[in-house]
Chains A and B, each alone.
Chain A
Amino acid sequence: MKRFSATLVLTAATLAAHGAWAQDGEPIKIGVLHSLSGTMAISETTLKDTVLMMVEQQNAKGGLLGRPLEAVVVDPASDWPLFAEKARELLTVSDVDAIFGCWTSVSRKSVLPVIEELNGLLFYPVQYEGEESSRNVIYTGAAPNQQAIPAVDYMADELGVEKWALLGTDYVYPRTTNNILDAYLKGKGVAAEDIFVNYTPFGHSDWSKIVADVVALGADGKKVGVVSTINGDANVGFYKELAAAGVSADDIPVMAFSVGEEELAGLDTANLVGHLAAWNYFQTAESDANTAFIKEWKDFIGDENRVTNDPMEATVIGFKAWVAAVEKAGTTDVDPVLDAIVGVEVPNLTGGTATVLPNHHITKPVLIGEIREDGQFDIVSQTDPVPGDAWTDHLPESAKLEADWPGKDCGMFNTETNACVQVQSNY
């Protein structure tokens, strides 16, 4: 299946190039920088296919500015330094006008200096830890205030959670998210001893002790809730151990930020029913746009069982926003497109609109879903679109920072001293 889709990539790319749907002129090239091999392949391949689908649809509509689109697919192979190398190649050798890519934070940090040096344009489609705003990146995934904070509010208000276990894989996204949540919860009056933080390595499998620790948190009579930023495979062992310990979602609800439809496909979901996830999109979202998208996706990939997920929606939004900005600017050059893209509104798949903000983030609704037996989510809460905040307001050091590209031409503006801290990103 995987190989089939991989061949599809190449054919799709060539199709895009040669398919002469009455379009003239040089094709517009866009780069796709997602790992097709290595540990991240399973997640990122889906996004690569999403971009190819969008390119195909755009070409079917007559291309962009009367020119066909051509996707240049490269494979950085889940190797972080290779992301920088491939990005340089895309921008200098293939001369792409925009890049859709990256999943992990470290791959983004690897690419950032190259993109900024060569004045490229990257659309980054995954929820991330924030604390960054680059002139050359549009962040279409959720910032912490678009996922973590509303999720925690939900747990406190709707589930009555008073004691918090912040469990995460030991890397930058969980670390930063937990730091923000820690500060936020303390700001809401939660005592320091009511917050338990734990970090585990990637692929951790021995969860018995940690689950026992979490259960023991209930000893002082407060309702315990788990906020999980556990990444990837490690979730399997975690949920298995939780179920084995007889912990149901009613006893200790688990709110996951990194578990979506794709991840649940690898799990026996019977024991997970009622646990939660916070995203900006679920496949079960009820809107016409979503129904159409799911159908197009299944047709494109040729598999009825494939699911859609949040980063796919973010990719779609990013692509549509870029197309709108290019049409508005009348060119694919990065600077005019960047000028044009702020304020662009594109429909999202959950029935609202996403607006590109001056800080290069977008507005997104926050959805909370409860896991169902079939591996999908029951949406139990949906907010109005929340504007993404590049610099969180809950940490003292970044509360005074803001990003405003059109207004101040700065991604890290200190509002206390009224000065731009740095124009390039802190990588």
Chain B
Amino acid sequence: MTDKLTRKPFILRNPSILVVLAVLSVFTLAVTLLSQAYGSGVIPTSTVKVLGKTLCLALAAVAMDLVWGYLGILSLGQMAFFALGGYLIGQWLMYARTEAIVAASLAGNPIPPTPAELQEGVANQIFGVVGSADLPLVWAFAHSLPIQLALVLAVPGLLALAFGWLAFRSRVNGVYLSILTQAMTLALALWLFQNDNGFRGNNGLSGLQNIPGLDEVDQATLSVWFLWASALALGLAYVLAAWVVSGKFGSVVRAIRDDETRVRFLGYPVEGFKLVVFTLAAIITAIAGALYYPQAGIINPAELMPIASIYLAVWVAIGGRGRLYGAIVGAVVVSLLSSWFTGGRAPSIHLPGYTVNWVDWWQVALGLSFVLVTLFAPKGIAGIVDRLGGILSPRRHGRDLGPDQGALQEQEARA
């Protein structure tokens, strides 16, 4: 589609891809060599897990950036897709592990169990704690890894498609759309909280770190494997996202962000573009979730309460919207800082007459820093990179609308 003669190859137009891939490879290699399973053991398994999870969060942030930084939709419901991915993979993890246990236990019986008895045993194990013994309908495919993996992609994708179609079709945009996405994740969270619905309510799905069939592999090794998988997913998603936002497709997407009405007048099917990007981001987020929760070990509805999605937006904003690497930087820096500050490790600041304990004050600092970033550094950390780049080779062409002015409604760009 693009005019190849006048354009440089895709990778060269996006030097950040190479940088990100290189950094990612070096990081993964370093962690592997320092891990307990494959190296010197300097980095304990719990830290490997934290790093692996952080990569998954970065992956979700890349998707968020796609939707917000490039498409201009501030989706406050991204974590719904993230958690859905986790729940869907969690179903298989839980079912398969429990099935093995139940089969082993029933094997001691004088007569072999019928399939119905086996399933009843599994259901009783999984749902006994919340007081039910029937396998809910939503667990119909939980026994099959391929189907559940397909569902990891299909369910969030279809949800995003349906939601997006309804919302974009009726031209809901701007803050309305943000509130609506927030309502979506809240509705889903409240639904999952209900014990009747077969997702074990507030307890959620647990014990996800034990992978069925890999009982012999210890957690130290598994954690490294998941780190590799997360790094691979992040690298692939980065390339995919960079490809999507470059070229003609990307231009249209950014144009929609800057002035939706004009793009529509030019004859582009705006809704179609929006749907494609929104759905793609949902699927990427779901994959991130499916990789995250086996490392976290437990998923429950608190994970998709609206505040979680807001944090995702915060990371992207601090990292820098409209820059894919900005999303990664933001997610990594802020989430690691968060866990450091709330972990009780950060030294308290002793002021005369008062001690600032970071466990109590980190949230305040985060909230305020967020206000400050929005006010004074709308491009976030990536803005600094831009500025450095500007010193090396000053930009001589005209300014683009940029993300700080980009996510505008049409009349605002006019004013």
Residues of A within 8 A of B (CB): 2-3, 6-7, 10, 36-37, 73-75, 77, 79-82, 84-86, 88-89, 92-93, 105-106, 109-110, 112-114, 117, 129, 131-132, 170-172, 175-176, 178-179, 199, 201-202, 395, 397-398, 414, 417, 419-422, 424, 426-427
Contact = CB atoms under 8 A, between A and B. Distances in A.
A176 B300 contact: no
Contacts of A89: 44, 46
Contacts of A93: 44, 46
A14 B194 CA distance: 44
Nearest to B347: A10
Contacts of B131: 175-176, 178-179, 395
Nearest to B223: A88
28 contacts: A2-B360, A6-B360, A37-B342, A37-B360, A75-B343, A75-B344, A80-B302, A81-B303, A89-B46, A92-B46, A106-B204, A106-B206, A106-B298, A106-B300, A109-B203, A109-B206, A110-B297, A110-B298, A112-B207, A170-B194, A172-B129, A172-B203, A178-B131, A397-B133, A398-B128, A417-B109, A424-B101, A426-B128
A183 to B, nearest CB: 10
Contacts of A82: 339
B49 interface: yes
A105 B125 CA distance: 16
Contacts of A74: 343-344
A210 B194 CA distance: 18
Contacts of A36: 344, 359
Contacts of A106: 202-204, 206, 298, 300
Given A6-B359, A88-B46, A419-B105, A81 B343 contact: no
A172 B298 contact: no
B130 interface: yes
Contacts of B204: 80, 106
B229 interface: no
Given A92-B44, A106-B298, A176 B50 contact: no
B150 to A, nearest CB: 26
A170 B193 contact: yes
B170 interface: no
Nearest to B50: A85
Q: Which 7 A-B pairs have the closest CB atoms?
A: A179-B131, A171-B202, A81-B296, A419-B108, A427-B207, A88-B46, A110-B298
B185 interface: no
Contacts of B348: 7, 10
Contacts of A79: 302
Contacts of B104: 422
Nearest to A83: B298
Contacts of B359: 6, 36-37, 75, 77
Contact of A420 (B44, B105, B207): B105
Interface string B172-193: 0000000000000000001001
A175 B342 contact: no
Q: For the side of the interface on B, what is the size category?
A: 35 or more
A397 B125 CA distance: 10
A176 B129 CA distance: 7
Contacts of A88: 45-46, 49
Contact of B203 (A105, A395, A397, A417): A105
Residue among A6, A80, A86 with the most chain B CB within 10 A? A80
A414 B302 CA distance: 34
Contact of A132 (B129, B298, B360): B129
A80 B298 contact: yes
B355 interface: yes
A418 to B, nearest CB: 8
Nearest to A89: B46
B298 A81 contact: yes
A110 B206 contact: yes
B16 interface: no
Contacts of B102: 421
A85 B300 CA distance: 15
B46 A421 contact: no
A168 B282 CA distance: 35
B210 interface: yes
Interface in B299-313: 299-300, 302-303
B374 interface: no
Interface string B376-391: 0000000000000000
Overall SS of chain B's interface: helix
A36 to B, nearest CB: 6
A37 B339 CA distance: 12
Given A81-B297, A113-B209, A414-B105, A3 B355 contact: yes
Contacts of A398: 128
Nearest to A85: B46
Interface string B306-350: 000000000000000000000000000000000100111000100
B43 to A, nearest CB: 11
A93 B46 CA distance: 8
A397 B128 contact: yes
Contact of A175 (B124, B133, B201, B207): B201
Contact of A129 (B46, B129, B200, B342): B129
B98 interface: yes
A6 B203 contact: no
A419 B101 CA distance: 12
Contacts of B219: 117
B246 interface: no
B25 interface: no
Given A88-B49, A93-B44, A426-B128, 20 more contacts: A6-B357, A6-B359, A7-B348, A37-B342, A37-B359, A75-B344, A81-B298, A92-B46, A109-B298, A110-B206, A110-B298, A131-B129, A171-B202, A171-B203, A172-B130, A199-B195, A202-B202, A397-B128, A426-B101, A427-B207
Contacts of B200: 172
B105 A131 contact: no
Nearest to B342: A77
Contacts of A201: 190, 193
B16 to A, nearest CB: 31
Contact of B202 (A75, A132, A172): A172
Nearest to B219: A117
Q: A113, A176, A201 — which one has the most chain B CB atoms within 10 A of its CB?
A: A113
B298 A84 contact: yes
Interface in B243-268: none
Contacts of A170: 193-195, 201-202
B108 A417 contact: yes
B355 to A, nearest CB: 6
Contacts of B201: 170-172, 175
Nearest to A129: B129
A426 to B, nearest CB: 5
Contacts of A426: 98, 101, 125-126, 128-129
Interface in B105-146: 105, 108-109, 124-126, 128-131, 133
A427 B195 CA distance: 16
A144 to B, nearest CB: 12
A421 B298 contact: no
Nearest to B120: A397
A109 B200 CA distance: 12
A79 B125 CA distance: 25
Given A113-B207, A175-B131, A422 B342 contact: no
B193 A175 contact: no
Nearest to B339: A82
A10 B350 CA distance: 14
B130 to A, nearest CB: 5
